[in-house]
Amino acid sequence: MNQHQEHAYAVARQVWDSVEDADAFMKAPHLLLNSRAPVEVAVTEEGARQVEDILWKIYWGLPG
């Protein structure tokens, strides 16, 4: 796992407040990521930003 993925995982853990739930989110295909898993998209800095954007929207209850 690279630094971008690690940072996205850290945000996921903060949003979900659970390692298990964060891991489930990061490994499941997501429609806003063209049905790719967030961990796959977060390989690049740009991809990690996309994942983090989705996570913060979930955290704040904003529409995707």
Instruction: Report pLDDT digits (tens) over 9-58.
Output: 999 999 999 999 999 999 999 999 999 999 999 999 999 999 999 999 99
Q: Which residue has the tokens 């954007």?
A: 53
Q: What backbone phi and psi angles, to 5 degrees, belong to 54?
A: -60, -45
Closest CA to 8 of 32, 35, 33, 43: 43
* Residue 51 burial (C-beta neighbours within 10 Å; 0-12, 13-18, 19+): buried
Q: Residue 63 above 90 pLDDT?
A: no
Q: Residue 64 above 90 pLDDT?
A: no
The pLDDT score that the predictor gives to residue 58 is 96
Domain limits, the chain: 3-60
